[in-house]
Structure 1
């Protein structure tokens, strides 16, 4: 009497696992990170400030967050862009845009990872930034100065905002970031990764876009979410088949 029940259980487990592996990764689309200033869910924000305004139709940030993102030392993270003298305006614009993308975008779901940090439970990892964005960021910052290649950690915070650690010397950006790839990949502990793709390809995330033309990052997020779902199914297939064969032998 036990064998039919066990066989049914086996078939149910295999079927359930296959359905799980094949299900659409909809939880990766139109989502906000579980982080310090992100909203729980994206929604319209008609008054987003300046460089954050492209996300006003659907944003993970509030107006106050978008306004603070434009300040040299804001209450968001007390981060001082001018830690090695005044940063060039053209360079600073990229960091403001970077902050707006991080705080406001609902299209980073495929790259969200769980972390155990006091100020956030999730982060992004290896977001493929369009190569033009990385190249222009690097070019516009070549004449500005910094003292570190990883801005996520290692600062002296005793003054209340970040200062260069003891022994670190201020040098032009290109000394710490010799290539656009070095800048995009390393500055925020691999939050970003320079892509081989260009803007408009549907394969890379744009830091800059014209909202009148729509948000191109929606298509990009959808592409990678679907690719991840397919990869999950392909990887799960051999494992599920092997499990089924082993259990069937045990039942015979």
Structure 2
């Protein structure tokens, strides 16, 4: 009867994961547990260029902000120009995207645990303002790439990312026919294109004018409060559900031993 227990054991694992997937309760003003992130956000007066919006409260250091502006930075040895020179307007979006990833302290509601050599947390399905995605796509549609998912599948034999042998360089528009295809697919669904607009308080801006303050603080607060309300209904049920599943597992094990 051992084969009958496998689905149940998988369900036990799933329940355990759902009940304890994210023990972190601090959803506001936090840094991810990742390769170049600070432990806690704080002021960084000399952040470089596109990272300046986060200078008052950042999860990145000055050195990180400087390094990520290079065409092939030492942060991840990632080469933007893997299919020829990327257009400057396109590259600007990727630098802003990297600044956002490294520097933002407003991603708590979307942080998930991962088991990767270079990070223990990532963000998933961040509601990106629709204008930010549209501009990213429009400014990159004539630049070239060879892949739809930049998180994996590269040829790293040279020490930097190169196109796999079975791919060809085509325009971004070929690989990403819509704005959503680009913004949601390129980093394994780190972003989810929102129907909301910039300034609505309901979507995250990848970049903002620092003199006007950080609009993402309000957005993170809104989603953190919504999540806290939802979790209050789910979490109390976890111990009871898990205990019932474990009891069923024990009963099946006991009965199997009689055969």
TM-score by length of 2: 0.81
Q: In structure 1, what is the equivalent of residue 141 of structure 2? A: 142
What do the CA deviations read for 1:219-243 (whole angstroms, capped 9, x no partner)?
0000000000111123457x48x88
Q: In structure 2, what is the equivalent of residue 207 of structure 1? A: 206
SS in 1 for 2:122: strand
| 1:26 CA drift (Å) | 5.7
Structure-1 separation of matches of 2:34 and 2:80: 21
What do the CA deviations read for 1:69-106 (whole angstroms, capped 9, x no partner)?
11000000000000000000000000000000000000
Structure-1 separation of matches of 2:25 and 2:135: 33
Structure-2 separation of matches of 1:122 and 1:74: 21
Q: In structure 2, what is the equivalent of residue 48 of structure 1? A: 47
SS in 1 for 2:115: strand
TM-score by length of 1: 0.84
How many equivalent residue pairs?
Answer: 218
Structure-2 separation of matches of 1:236 and 1:75: 41
- Aligned pair 1:110/2:109, yes or no? yes
SS in 2 for 1:115: strand
| 1:211 CA drift (Å) | 1.0
Structure-2 separation of matches of 1:67 and 1:195: 30
Structure-1 separation of matches of 2:163 and 2:192: 25
Structure-1 separation of matches of 2:200 and 2:36: 30
SS in 2 for 1:28: coil
Q: In structure 1, what is the equivalent of residue 173 of structure 2? A: 174
Structure-2 separation of matches of 1:210 and 1:171: 33
Q: Which runs of 5+ in 1 are unaligned?
A: 1-24, 247-252
Structure-1 separation of matches of 2:226 and 2:78: 36
**RMSD over equivalenced CA pairs, Å:** 1.5
Structure-1 separation of matches of 2:133 and 2:113: 25
Structure-1 separation of matches of 2:122 and 2:71: 23
Structure-2 separation of matches of 1:174 and 1:181: 11
Q: In structure 2, what is the equivalent of residue 191 of structure 1? A: 190
- Aligned pair 1:64/2:63, yes or no? yes
Structure-2 separation of matches of 1:204 and 1:229: 18
Structure-2 separation of matches of 1:166 and 1:156: 8
| 1:162 CA drift (Å) | 0.2
Runs of 4+ in 1 over 6 A off after TM superposition: none
SS in 1 for 2:26: helix
Q: Which runs of 5+ in 2 are unaligned?
A: 1-23, 245-259
Q: In structure 2, what is the equivalent of residue 75 of structure 1? A: 74
